[in-house]
Structures are given as C-alpha cells and as structure tokens.
Structure 1
Amino acid sequence: MDKNSERNGLDGQEDDSVLETGVPGLDDILGGGLTANRLYLLEGAPGTGKTTIAMQFLRIGADRGEAVLYVTLSETARELRGVARSHGWNLDGIELREMLPSTDALEPDEQYTMFHPSEVELGETTLKILADVEQIKPTRLVFDSLSELRLLAGGSLRYRRQILALKQFFAGRQCTVLLLDDMTAMEHDLQVQSIAHAVIRLEQLNSDYGAARRRLIVAKYRGREYRGGFHDYKIIRGGLQVFPRLVAAEHVAPIEQLRMPSGLPALDTLLGGGIEKGTSTLFVGAPGTGKSTLAVQFVLAAAQRGEHAAMFIFDESLNTLRTRCQGLGMDLAPHLASGLITVRQVDPAELSPGELVQAIRDVVTVGQARVIVIDSLNGYLNAMPDGRFLIVQLHELLTYLGQAGVATLLVGAQHGLIGTQMQTPVDASYLADAVVMLRYFEDSGSVRQAISVVKKRGGAHERSIREFELRLGGPHVGEPLRNLRGILTGVPVPVDDPASKPMETAPT
C-alpha cells in the first residue's frame, strides 16, 4: 500500500480494533476498515452515495448484533426506508431518529422573537441526539447531515465548537461516528476535516456522453496506512461497488519464464519459439491486417493446452467475433462452453477504468486465466476519462499481469492503411515486451500482407519480413519475402530491379 498514513493523533490507544464498513472495496482501500470509536467524515455532493455507504456501515453492525443508530436531519424515515428497499434491504435492527422541524414551526406563534432561531433549535436538536445516544448506547452512529447542523449553528465558530463538543461526548462511549456532509455550503470549510479521524470524499464526474463516472479518495486517515489516490466506484442494486486502484508493487511474486507456442510453426519461428508467460505482446497494424485473428490464435492454442484465456473486446460484438472466427475455421464455441475461453464485450461509455481493471484481476485470480487479450488499445483509450493517464494505468496493469505469470496480448490499430506514415493513437510499444507489426503492401496489382517482429525482450527472434495471409483454417505465415525491398513503404520493388539500386556516379 501507499505510505500515506499519518502517524499522529493516535489518541493514546495502541491496540485499536477495526470495523468493516460493509463495502469490501472500501475496506481494502482503508487497510481493513475504520478504527473503532473514532469520528469520521464522509463528504460528497448529493447523489454520490453517502446515504448508501452509511446504511451499509450500519447494516453490517446490526447483522452482528450491535446497537446502531441513524440520526437524520435532512431525510424522513420513510425516505430512508425507500432507499433501503431500492437496494433490496430492510432496516431491521437499525434505530432511526428524525430530527426534522415539525409543521408547527411554520405557525406564527412558533416564530422566535427574543432569541435567534439557531440559539434555540441547535440546543434542542443536540439535547435530543444526546438523549437518544444515552438511551440506545449505539456502537455505530450515522449523523445525516452536517449541512443542517451548520445552518442551525448560524456561524462558523459556533459550528466548530459544536462538532468538537460532539467528538468529546462520543470519545468515552465506545461509539464509532460517521458524519455525512453534502457539501452544499457556499464555501467549503476544512474545520470538520481537521477534527475528523479520517475523511472520505465522493465525487461524480459527468461527461458529455455516457454514464456518470464516480470516484472516491481518502483525504486523510490518522494512524493507519491506506491506498491513496482516486478509486472508481459505482452504485448498483445492493450497494456500492468500489474498485481499488491497482498497485502492481503489492503483487510481486516469482514466476517461471515458459514459452507459450501459438500452434503455427512459422509464427513461433518468427517469435523465437513463441511468447513467454509474464510478458506482454503488442500486435500493431492497419485495420483488417489480422491483428485480432492472431490474438485469437494464441487464445485457442492456450485452450487446447487446457489453460484458461480471457478476451476483453471493445471494437466488435461477441457474435461478430464468433462468426468471423468460425468463417476462418477457428471455432471458439467448444471452449466458450467449457469455460476455458471467456469473452467480455466492453462498452467504454458505461465501464469505468477501475471496473475494467477489477474485471481483469478477477479473471486472473478467480478464473486462473493465463492469457489475456485487450482488443483494442483504441477502445481502452476511450474508456479513460482523461487520456493523459492511460499509459500510467496501462503500465501498472501490464506489470501486475506480468508478475502473475500471465501472457498479455494487446491489439493496437494504426491510423492509415499503407505507407510509412502510419500513426498509433496510443504509443504502447515501449511498454510491451514484444511488438509484432503487420502491414499491407502492393505487389503486381494485388494487396498483400506482411508480418514481422520488430522488438522482443529477453530472447532472439527472426528479423525477416514474412508474408501473412488469412486463410480457411486460420492465419498463415509464409516464407521470408527476400525478393522484395521496401515492403514497409507499402510499394516495394524487386531486389534485382535496376531502378531499386542506388545510382553510381562517375569518378571525377
């Protein structure tokens, strides 16, 4: 984990128990959960899931027989039960206390004349809360929300003193308090953040197209190690799903470098015997040159050896993939039925980068996949809300998969069809351990294809350029094209063509 822990403010206790929040991904980020008997701040704009996390936090306590209390100043108990029903929950075992102003407050006789309303209402509200705590003696308490308490206080000084008083009140009562703040104040203050033992902030990002992206960050956590940075999450029926940011350094393990053949002798010769476990290979070329088909060839070879493989496809549907492969005689159906091959179609408009990484981790840890295909990097780029961080995240992912002994196959489509000015929107060639390049070229009035290996770490490979074809039965790698020069330009000439030889200058 990141060493973002603050080492001060331990309140003099050495052996502190940890409470689970009810959100497994959040517990992983927090290093196990929340230190018991502390005051915490959960802040975020309306709609980010604060109430959902609060209910999950109380439900796991109630399921274990703890006394738990939900104090609401903003929503009614009926509204809270409606939220619970939307997730398929009930609130049995959770005490609900409404601290909403009554309808009598609208009557003229109830308007304060001698004292400011905040002076009366804040005191009454606080006394009711403390009385409920004394009666119920909860071990977990949620206070929703601070924006109402801030309004009741009437001023920043009185508000801060009220929060400090609440913290001191709960300090000796073996109660873990979760304060919710919807950040609706005109100016966001840091007063409660400085008082709270930990601060978790929820954010919602609305793009021009596609679903809203949600992420959270732990702004501080006194006395514990936690995973810093932003972490994607989503709200589904059943609560929050949090996807902790991948840190490859946490998953270091020794691996054995074993070659994985493709099942095509000529291709294995070109690659120096095949690809190695724990390495990444990039297939790059113009659209239609056969990059995805080559990746499928390695997937089929792995399944035929009894190994699991997984494909994450962005650019085509599963039906299109199966139909295309079946037309080439590469039948995926038996291996899909047996579970040796899994294919997931990814919609970059709906799937966040964190959720995609978590899905890849799951097929490795749970599904024991030994080959992973990401087709393509262009689609992966579109899944990132900010393309500047694609390479950093891709580096972490490839490092993690390499340490897990997985062979990763990346497909990258270049802009253009022919010639030397081919451009790649995502330059991942320096991250990959091997780069296989496919090209179109013209010859005798026909468009042909060529394949070559331009980079391979950790082993020798063939330097020649071979002909490549998609035939019935799968991809076919031919003999080296030694009779042509300038294949990568797209318009080669025969080696023995006088026009292709440099002109000799007469001696002076």
Structure 2
Amino acid sequence: MEELLRISTGVPGLDMVLNGGLLAQRSYLIRGGPGTGKTTLGLHCLAAMPKNKRTLFLGLSEPVERIVRDAQAQGLDLSDVAWCDLTTSKDAFFEGESYDIFSPAEVERKPMTQQIIRMIEQVKPACVLIDSLTQLRYLSANSYDFRKQTLALIKYLNDQGATVLATSETSIEAPDDDVQFIVDGILEVDFQHGAATRRNEGRGFAGRGITAVKFRGSNFAPGRHELLIGDHGVQVFPRLVPAEHGQRFIAETISSGIDELDRITHGGLHRGTVTVITGPSGVGKTTLAVHYMKEAAKRGERSVIFSFDEGLATLIHRSESVGIPMQMMLADGILQTIAVEPLSMSADQFAHLVRQKVEHEQVRVVLIDSVRGYGLSVRGEDLVLHLHALCGYLKNMGVTVLLNDETDAIMDQAFHPTSVGVSYLASGVIYLRYVAIDNRLCRALGVLKIRTSDFENTQHEFQITRHGIVIGAALQSGTHGLLPGIPRMSRASEQQ
C-alpha cells in the first residue's frame, strides 16, 4: 500500500496528534470561536511548507497588513507566502456588493473570481489558507449559493494540487455544519473557562485546546489537547496516553544508600515503579527521596527533581547540610532540579517537559515534589487521572518515580496514607510521621506496601543528621497505637 504524502502543520505537537501531519491535497476546516487561534494555526501550516513550495493566503476577514504584522511578531517566516486580499472595500457598504465564486463548469469573469484565478495560476500554491469561510457565508446571497461556491472553490484548489485550509467561526447565527461535510478533516479549537472547585480553592482557569474531530485517510489522537499561543507562536501539548509509550528495561532493585532502609524494603525499590513518600510537612520526605538520587548518581544514572513547593536554593542548602553533595551532582549534570510554577504550567505542559527529560536526556529517576503542588497545575481537572497517565508513562519507560505527598495529620490523629487517594497508583508507600517517645518528639518511618517484594512491616525511628539519615531499631515492641496515635516505648524495649 502506497504511503500517503504528509505535510507538517508547523506545530510538532499537532503533528503528533495527527499521526505525522496533514495529508497533502486534501481540505481541512479549522473551526472555533473568535480569538481561539484559528488564523494563527493556519499561518503556521503555510510557514512550515518547504522553501521550494509556494503558498497562498486568501483573506476575506482581516486586512492582510494586520495579519502579516501579527505573524511577524510571533517570529513566523512568511516570506514565501503570496497574499491575496479579498476583504471588502469601504465602497461595499454603500454599493451593496456581493461576492461570486465560480462553479467548476462555468467561470464567471468578475473581479474577485479573476483575482483568485490569476493568483492561483501565477503562484501555483502547494497550500492555500482561506480566512475565513464565515465571511464568505455572510457575503453570499443564500445558504445554497454558499455551499455551491465553497465546494467549487475547494475542488478547484485541490484539482490544482493544493492542500486547502479554511477557517470558520462557530456561532449559533452562522453554523458551519454544511461545510463539515465538504472537507476531509476538521480541527476544532476552543477557549474553555474552567469552573472553580474546592480543590483549586475557588480559582477558575482558562485555556485553549484543540480537538481533531474528523481526519479522513488517517488515524489521529482523539480527545482535547492543550493549545498555547505565546511569543513564539502556537504550541500543542498532546494528552499523554501511557499505552502508546514504552521501552525494555531490567526490573532490578534501586538502593537508597541507607542500609537499614534497604533491609526494611528487602533490597530497595524496583526500577520502573512508583513509590509514594507520605507524611506531614517538615518530616523529611524530600531528604529521603534525594538519597535515592544520590545513589542513582553513583550508578551514573540521570535523575531530575521537579519542585512545585520549595525554592531550589533552599533544597540545595538542606541537602548539602545532611551530607548529600547536590552542588557537585548538579555541576556534573547527573542531577537536575527544576522549579515548576504550577499556576503558569498546566498538567499537559508538565507532562511534555517530563517526556523531554526522559526521551531526550535519558533520565531514569524522577521526583515530583509534591503531589499537592502538582495538583495546582491540573487546574480543576481530575488530579488522579492526570497523575495516573503520567506515572503510567514513566513506569512503561522504566523510570523509577518518587512522589512526595504531604498529609495534614501531624500526631495523634486518624492515619491517612495519602492526601488525595493516590496510593493505588504506587507500587510502594513509605510513610513518615511525628511520634512521641516518652517526652521526646521524634520521627518514625514505616512501609505500608511494596507490590514487587516482601518488606518489614514495623515502624522505626527516623533521624536526619548532618551525616545523613539514620534509621533506628523497630518501635513496635511494647508500644501502643502506632498508626492511629502516639507510640510509647515500654520499659522492656528501653532496656534493650
């Protein structure tokens, strides 16, 4: 079977959604409300054409000068684009002019028709952007004429060997259902306002998205994908689907570098698994997680810390103060620390960043610090759903994942292993908590589960010293209320 020729949209993420790009010499509708980025997206397609291919812009809505100026501000190279300005003149308001597009059998030699034909014959474009069909609808005598003219125009352009893109504004007053049957593909762009929820503390969110609704002759990634328009143009962040990614890896154990912890976990964590490190604020979750990265550095493996909560300077200082040479690890490039501002980066953007680190920089250990901070980037959507996709992808790629999850319970309260019910995602759960032993306030460590191996189901005193983490003897002997309350050591255990 002959492979169909594809052309890039000029947006790598959208090419991924479309399984490689648009099919050549087909027609596509870019539809959406005002301000969603329809024209900008179409211009990216024109700019992405090879230099030996000419392109044509047929403008019916905005003056060409304004469109060119806006495109240049975003860094788009449109030097090979031929511009055909079909916007109405100021005299049209007084004269009641209408536009007539030709039929394939009988070409009416009116000024607009002649202008289009002249441009097509002169430029011989490989790709044409019509902006917009909505304006053509308004200027047509009736719906029948509009459908006839649109079909004739698209067919004429396709017959000339051009790939056709057309924008259309969606509205109740001028629905474009009739055009959707004519074209080979439909891309819907939108601007959604998210509802405020208790999880995002009353803050709403807003964001653009793109959905491939129809794409004849090819598969495509279904669902809504985030679309971002910035200073450098359009970016699309495909929604992450774990089943579409994976690679072979050896399911070996990963040491923490702390002998007692490795003994409790029967050798350590396992590669390609997710471990939640849970506990209240300040109990030592990040310090414990960084020990696994210190050991990864000794093995020559790259790791990355995505910090949603803590400043990098503070993280480096705390790590160095407990004997973890983070400055040296950063200088060697074996460790990266990335501060993430969740209110300016969505979950899909973050997933894209993680993929870049894993697929292009061979990162093998990832720490997300913390689940609660990451939850802000979800912006009112389902936190567990996004985390499920991200962790599923990382597991399939053989990456060891550490999730720091802050719980609210400090002491003497009901025990909840995680804050938002993410423990089912994890192969292992290590919990830290504050406990009172006689008159001392101490930290304790325990393991709730490890799916891939056995483990010791006792609590141990957990100390952070200037030489690193020290894990003491088990606290379970002669103590009471370890999980729900405050552990107390008996005289017998004190004498041991």
Could you state the TM-score of these two structures normalised by the residue count of structure 2? 0.90
Question: Structure 1 residues 210 and 318, CA, compared in 2 at 3 Å: closer, same or farther?
Answer: farther
Q: Which amino acid aligns with 2:479?
A: L
CA deviation string 1:307-344 (max 9, x = no partner): 10011111111112112222333231111111111111
CA distance in 2 between partners of 1:155 and 1:496 (Å): 94
Contact 1:233 1:354 in 2 (8 A): no
User: Which residue of structure 1 aligns with residue 347 of structure 2?
Assistant: 353
1:289-328 maps to which residues of 2 (within 5 A)? 289-328=283-322
Please, which of 351, 359, 375 is the counterpart of residue 365 of structure 1? 359
Give the Cα–Cα distance (whole angstroms) in 1 for the partners of residues 427 and 228 of structure 2: 34
In 2: Cα distance, 1:175 partner to 1:92 partner: 18
Q: 1:257 aligns with which of 251, 261, 267?
A: 251
Q: Partner residue of 2:11?
A: 23
Secondary structure in structure 2 of the residue aligned to 1:488: coil
* Alignment match, 2:324: 330
Q: Which residue of 1 aligns with 2:447?
A: 453
Residue identity over aligned pairs, in percent, reads 34
Taking structure 1 as reference, are residues 373 and 210 closer, same or farther at Cα in structure 2, changes over 3 Å only? farther
Aligned residue among 139, 163, 183 for 1:196? 183
Letter in 2 for 1:83: D
Distance 1:495 1:291, change over 3 A: same
Q: Which amino acid aligns with 1:327?
A: S
Could you tell me whether the CA contact under 8 Å between 1:45 and 1:203 is conserved in 2? yes
- The answer to whether the aligner puts 1:343 opposite 2:343 as a matched pair is no
Aligned-residue CA RMSD in angstroms?
2.2
Name the CA distance, whole Å, in 1 between partners of 2:422 and 2:118.
62
> Equivalents in 1 of 2:149, 2:415: separation in Å?
65
Q: Residues 179-328 of structure 1: matches in 2 within 5 Å?
A: 179-184=166-171, 186-206=173-193, 212-328=206-322
Inter-CA distance 474–496: structure 2 relative to 1 (3 Å threshold): closer
Query: Structure 1 counterpart of 2:481, which letter?
Result: G
Gaps of 5+ in 1: 1-12, 498-508
Q: 1:56 aligns with which of 32, 36, 44?
A: 44
CA-CA distance at 1:187 after TM superposition: 4.8
Measure how far apart 1:306 and its partner are: 1.6
1:250 Cα deviation after fit: 1.7
Deviation at 1:210, TM superposition (A): 8.3
Partner of 1:418: 411
Question: Could you say which residue in structure 2 is the equivalent of 1:146?
Answer: 133
2:144 to 157, 170, 176: 157
Which of these residues, 473, 485, 489, is aligned with residue 484 of structure 2? Answer: 489
Q: Secondary structure at the match of 2:350?
A: helix
Contact 1:26/1:242 (8 A) holds in 2: yes
Aligned to 1:480: 474
The one-letter code of the counterpart of 1:470 is I
Deviation of the 1:303 alpha carbon = 1.3
Instruction: Provide the C-alpha distance between the structure 2 equivalents of 1:418 and 1:157, rounded to a whole number of angstroms.
Output: 74
Are the aligned partners of 2:302 and 2:364 in contact in 1 as well (CA < 8 Å)?
yes
CA displacement at 1:144 relative to structure 2: 0.6
Shift of 1:305: 2.2
* Shift of residue 240, structure 1, vs aligned partner: 1.5
Structure 2 CA distance for partners of 1:90 and 1:254, relative to 1, 3 Å = closer
Q: Secondary structure at the match of 1:383?
A: helix
Opposite residue 26 of structure 1, the aligned amino acid is L
8 Å Cα contact 2:205-2:380 kept in structure 1 = no
TM, length-normalised to structure 1 = 0.88
- Partner residue in 2 for 1:401: 394
Instruction: State how far apart, in whole Å, the 1-side matches of 2:466 and 2:115 are.
Output: 78
User: What is residue 46 of structure 1 aligned with on the other side?
Assistant: 34
1:394 partner letter: L
Contact 1:415 1:422 in 2 (8 A): no
**Secondary structure, counterpart of 1:157 in structure 2:** helix
Query: 1: CA distance between counterparts of 2:169 and 2:453?
Result: 57
Residue 211 of structure 1 contacts residue 349 of structure 1 at CA under 8 Å; is this kept in 2? no
**Counterpart of 1:273 in structure 2: which amino acid?**
G
- Checking the alignment, whether the CA contact within 8 Å between 1:145 and 1:181 is kept in structure 2 is yes
Q: Per-residue deviation at 1:474? A: 2.2
2:72 alignment partner in structure 1: 85
Give 1:385 deviation, angstroms. 2.5
Q: Distance in 1 between matches of 2:123 and 2:390?
A: 48
Identify the residue that residue 95 of structure 2 maps to in structure 1: 111
In 2, the alpha carbon distance for the partners of 1:40 and 1:174 equals: 14
1:263 shift after superposition: 0.7
Point out where structure 2 has 5 or more consecutive residues left out of the alignment.
Answer: 103-109, 197-202
Q: Aligned with 2:318: secondary structure? A: helix
Aligned length: 476
Go from structure 1 to structure 2 and tell me whether the alpha carbon gap of 1:155 and 1:185 turns closer, same or farther (over 3 Å shift): farther
8 Å contact from structure 1 (residues 121, 152) kept in 2: no
